[in-house]
Amino acid sequence: MKIIYRHPETVDIGGRKVVGIVVFGLLVLLSILVGAASGLLLVYSTDLPQVEELERYRPSSITELYDGQGRVIGTFALQRRVVASYDDYPEVLRNALISIEDKDFYRHSGINVWRIAGAAYRDIESGGKVQGASTLTMQLARNLFLSPDRSFYRKVQEALLAIQIERRFTKPQIFTLYANQIFLGHGAYGFEAASEYYFSKPAKQLNLDEAALLAGLPKAPQYYSPIAHPDHALKRRNLVLNSMLEDGKITAAQATWAKGQPIVLNLQKDQNALAPHYVEEIRRYLEAKYGSDQVLQGGLRVYTSLDMDLQKAANRALLDGLAAYERRHGWQGKLLNVVAQGQKLDKYVDPDWDEEPEVNGYMHALVMQVAPGAAEIRFGRYTATLAPADVAWTQSRKSKVKFSDFFRAGDIVYVKVLSLGTDGRARVSLEQDSGAEGALVAIDNATGEIKAMVGGRDFNLSKFNRATQALRQVGSSFKPYVYTAVIDQGGSPDDTILDAPVIFQTASGPYSPHNYDAKFEGTITLRRALAQSRNIPALKLADRIGIKTVIEYAHRFGVTANIPAYLPVALGSAEITPLEQTSAFSVFPNDGVRVAPRYITKVTDYEGRLLEEDFSDIKDVVSSRTARVMTSMLREVVLHGTAIAAAKMPYPLAGKTGTTNDFTDAWFVGFSPTITCGVWIGYDEKKSLGDKETGARAALPIWMQFMTAALAGKYPGEFQTAPAAEGTAVARKIDTPDTAPGDGELH
């Protein structure tokens, strides 16, 4: 037997060599892994944005419009977002969000390794893509910098960014960035905006159940929408409450109470709906000056001249006036039927229904079914029944209304909301929308600030602003310019003129005008001639001083329209917008000074820096004597003239009616010592309002309703006293030739 001897040291040396080789191999493998990981991290981090950008980051935010009392009247935004601070979010909301989304938020450094590993294992096991397990910081990184696609590549980038964010920012800062950025459904971004949208209150005032509801939305805002899917939202809310209970953030009693609460929403009204035509005017101006990006995303603060209370009164007055006009002319029928257009009753949604209805407001409703003695209608989430009493004004020839003669299922009807019940039932009255339109403008005399503006019956149906864009013949409301020119050139309201038949020779032949009542009063004072709106005296005066002079005075008052120089202009054939005509009349109570109308007082940027400040543009138009004399003459229109219906109002008031040929336009422009208001009524096309629909009948009641609300509880002021010697010491008789150029006629 052969024995081989090995020295012990030889064996030891060989073993060490093997160990060394193994260790070396492991080191090489580790180096390869580290290198590969480093390479992957380098690849994944190559295109990562710089987290330092967050220090300068400002999310897209709402541009808000405020009225004179600081109340929001409108917003412009691509994303409905209200940027809030950490302290603006109550502890109950912070606890709810962290419990359901990221329990270890205050302990981890941006990522939760165990959650990620668990989620990855489940995804690999199920064959799905890597998803879930994101911390709030990772969600913030994704929402700010990355695409929403679910991939391993994006997940690694998300984690790397989260770590960088955690190194640079505090937990409260990270929470605030997240809470301001996250999408929460229905156009709301951030919890402050969501709280205001869903509950019409700031986040600071959220209850436990409300906070839990909002905290459940980030996972899937559409699926858990309390509006679209209240059942889903309720289950998700209760899950949040359970998580808070497990984390010790609430007691069992609090959880039980909150789970027992129904979901009660108080959806924020569209703030642009109060004065949509006014807001649209401001939007056009701002976008022209600052650009649409700044307006829609820059978070401007726009301080306007509007008064929310006066705007509400203006809306109500115009719609009530149009309803009264419609009722005077009886039921027209000709209703649009959506079923005939191929739509289904249960699927139809009217633009009016985007807004929550208001008591005494007007809207379009859908007829759902018709019975012999009633009709069921729907508008938004409300239903109502039209009974015989609600349609009595239609003046049916039959003693008993047969509803099938009026309506069919699918008809769109116009109604006034009389009451709204918590059970979704409403009480309404039938109204009519035949297409008659109107406009109202109210201006502060001293500042020129536009306090209220209504540009039409329904902004949803027509964006055209009749207050600023509609050039309409002003009828006899033009006559004050004629009398102003006469008074300013030394005339007196006690001067007399002959109201008698007259023939003017024109290029197109003889022109024989007449008065509205087809009568003549003989010799009358200028004061009475204006108060009674006599046509013959106005034409004679315009002929005496020259129609070009009259037009020049109108332009001095701020009328910019090109007015042809022919005599019938004196009776109001000139086309002027309601805004310009109203602003012009404010010169009279303003002692002859014109203050240009203005919408905006100042604009600041997101940081509060002043971008612009608007000051009143003031210009002398006529002497204070002329203004005071004209005010006294226009006061006579109210006390004893065509606007005598307003004489019962307990305020010093003055103004002028206006009616055009064939009753196509009805006006009243009038003023108190503090505010001037103009009202126009008519159709967009040149169409008669109907026989006897004068300014006094169609427009004046609207003006009176608005002015009653505008002056209620306020000191109305006093008109300046007219000079004792108005014009010459002795009243003169004004005579005029019976010839003048021009043709046409208005009254």
The set of catalytic residues is: 101, 476
Rounded to the nearest angstrom, the gap between the alpha carbon of residue 674 and the centroid of all alpha carbons in its chain is 26
Closest to 416 (Cα-Cα) out of 363, 475, 489, 495: 363
Burial of residue 155, with CB atoms counted within 10 A of its CB: 0-12 exposed, 13-18 middle, 19 or more buried? buried
Question: What CA–CA distance (Å, rounded) separates 513 from 31?
Answer: 107
At residue 515, the 3 state secondary structure works out as coil
Strand partners, 426: 384, 420
Backbone region of residue 459 per phi and psi (left: phi > 0; alpha: psi in -120 to 50; beta: other values): alpha
Burial of 240 (0-12, 13-18, 19+ CB in 10 A): buried
Dist. CA 35–CA 29, nearest whole Å: 10
- 């010697």: which residue's tokens? 725
* DSSP state letters, 21-47: HHHHHHHHHHHHHHHHHHHHHHHHHHT
Is the Cβ–Cβ distance between 100 and 216 less than 8 Å? yes
- Which residues 6+ apart lie within 8 Å of 359 measured at CB? 417, 418, 419, 420
Q: How many CB atoms lie within 10 A of CB 191?
A: 28
Is the distance from CB of 271 to CB of 74 less than 8 angstroms?
Answer: yes
| Residue 138 phi, psi dihedral angles, 5° rounding | -65, -40
What SS3 class is residue 269? Answer: coil
Match 């605030």 to its residue by tokens. Answer: 176
Distance CA 44, CA 90 (A): 37
Determine the distance from the C-alpha atom of residue 314 to the mean position of all C-alpha atoms in its chain, rounded to a whole number. 14
Query: CA-based Rg of the chain, rounded to a whole angstrom?
Result: 37
- The residue type at 275: A
Cα 14 to Cα 16: distance, rounded to the nearest angstrom? 5
How many other CB atoms sit within 10 Å of the CB of residue 691?
9
Pairwise CA distance, residues 607 & 25, whole Å: 61
Output the CA–CA distances (angstroms, integers) from residue 511 to 538, 551, 556, 745, in the order listed: 15, 21, 29, 9
Q: Which amino acid is at 515?
A: N
What does the DSSP 8-state code read for residue 14? H
